[in-house]
Copies of this chain bind each other. A is one copy, B any other.
Amino acid sequence: MTKPSVPKGTRDFGPDQMVKRNFIFDTIRRTFQRYGFLPLETPAMENLSVLMGKYGEEGDQLLFKILNSGDFAAELGEPDWREGSKKVTPKIAEKGLRYDLTVPFARYVAMNRHEITFPFRRYQMQPVWRADRPQRGRYREFYQCDADVVGTGSLLCEAEIVGMILEILDGLGIPDFTLKINHRQILAGIAAVIGAEGKEGEMCVAIDKLDKIGRAAVVEELRQRGFSDDAVRKLDPVFELGGSTAERFAQLKALLTSSEAGLRGVDELEQVWQLTRDSGLPDERMLLDVTLARGLSYYTGAIFEVKPNHGSVGSISGGGRYDNLTGAFGLKDVSGVGISFGVDRIYDVMEALNGFPADHYATTQVMFTHFDAEAGRYALPLLRQLRGAGINAELYPEPGKLKKQLDYANQKNVPYVILIGSDEMQTGQLTLKNMQMGTQRKLTMAEVLAVLKPVGSWQ
């Protein structure tokens, strides 16, 4: 006998969780669709040549690699094995599991460049796998929900990203969040004006920790990374940026007067804000945060991050503009902008808020009970009629004790039960029991159909 378990860092999602997760997926997907994004799916496995070198050295380590099929060891001699895991891996594993949705998307765009109509808007909602050390809120298998537009540098796309974020969080019922926005050229400009031109990467790594370790520790880290006292002092206005969005923009422009790149970044973000207002969207949850860096090095323009204002969940969404994502696959100069939502963290936030709609728990809407086989047969055409009307319905599969059947309905959160007994079969009047209220009444089938309403597809 095999003692059953799931691999470390992976999870089963039973019906209760699935119904809630699907509410999140549906809300995100429906918004992506309303914005004209089209679905894409890529294989779980990618060639390691596609994945390696795209996520840094640490990322390469965290890729799940798939052992070649067949007699993978046949071609290898002892010297190969002796070289150790790292050297032998490429000889016995050609494929790996997808690490994110961005690299497979870039590969897809490069492979299909001649068939794709640009600007290309795609969404993709699939699991990714990382051999990270599992811990609370960090899994080895988790879903990403991405939307990207590639093939245009238009800032209308940034404004649409903002619009989608606001609508999705509104649809999910998460009102209290901050949408932090920054621009990579602003960060480059800051590095330039403090006299550390080209060192914005290292500057960002340190500044990115501000939320976690505080200003003093960030300053200390900058010093350790070789930033001069003068450079660190010149960063003061960056840490002290404040006031309204307009005031922040003004302070930034004053700071960046000598940096063309920096001023271009400011100008672009001002346009994003303006386009958002032009769309009639509220902007009070948008925050110009010049300490937002976002680790991924491929961003070149605006960057986004969403954090709930309460709890310790961290960011639930992030993204930005990139100029050369497909370059690694031989397709240069394709600018794009994208956003990614993390379903697992959104789930945790919504659980904490008790934010899932109650009627999404109800999957089966009505269940027939029956005392004997004859009553069961009597229920069959009625069952078919209900399902034909789009109502989720079932017949308890075994006749017998009513209590057992009602217990089942209760445990499954079925809101209505129809009792079929000899009375019901004689009169054609059905007994409809409201499981929450405990009340019951006699109704014709037509009346039952009027009480129960068809539901949409929840998946």
How near does chain B come to A264, taking the closest CB pair, in angstroms? 17
User: How does the 8 Å CB contact mask read for A23-58 relative to B, with 1 for contact and 0 for none?
Assistant: 000100110011110111111111101100000000
Cβ B363 vs Cβ A33 within 8 A: yes
9 closest A-B pairs by CB: A36-B394, A15-B38, A10-B43, A154-B397, A18-B39, A69-B131, A117-B411, A36-B364, A279-B380
A15-B39, A363-B38, A395-B156 known; A29 vs B141 contact (CB < 8 Å): no
A163 and B387 alpha carbons, distance in the complex (Å): 11
Instruction: Find the B residue at minimum CB distance from A130.
Output: B69
Cβ B412 vs Cβ A117 within 8 A: yes
How near does chain B come to A441, taking the closest CB pair, in angstroms? 23
Q: What residues of B have a CB within 8 angstroms of the CB of A39 in the complex? A: 13, 15, 18-19, 22, 459
A22 and B392 alpha carbons, distance in the complex (Å): 20
Q: What residues of B have a CB within 8 angstroms of the CB of A18 in the complex? A: 38-41
Q: Give how many copies assemble into the complex.
A: 2
User: How does the 8 Å CB contact mask read for A370-409 relative to B, with 1 for contact and 0 for none?
Assistant: 0000001100110110010011111111100000000010
* Listed stretches A108-116, A186-194, A216-224; interface member: A108-116
User: How does the 8 Å CB contact mask read for A253-293 relative to B, with 1 for contact and 0 for none?
Assistant: 00000000000000000000001001111000000000000
How near does chain B come to A92, taking the closest CB pair, in angstroms? 7
A376 and B271 alpha carbons, distance in the complex (Å): 13
User: How does the 8 Å CB contact mask read for A217-237 relative to B, with 1 for contact and 0 for none?
Assistant: 000000000000000000000
A2-B329, A85-B72 known; A381 vs B7 contact (CB < 8 Å): no
Q: Could you say which of A85, A281, A381 has the most chain B C-beta atoms within 10 Å of its C-beta?
A: A85
Q: Could you say which of A15, A61, A381 has the most chain B C-beta atoms within 10 Å of its C-beta?
A: A15
Query: What are 10 A-B contacts with C-beta separation under 8 Å?
Result: A6-B47, A14-B40, A33-B363, A38-B412, A44-B44, A44-B129, A64-B67, A67-B92, A167-B387, A281-B384
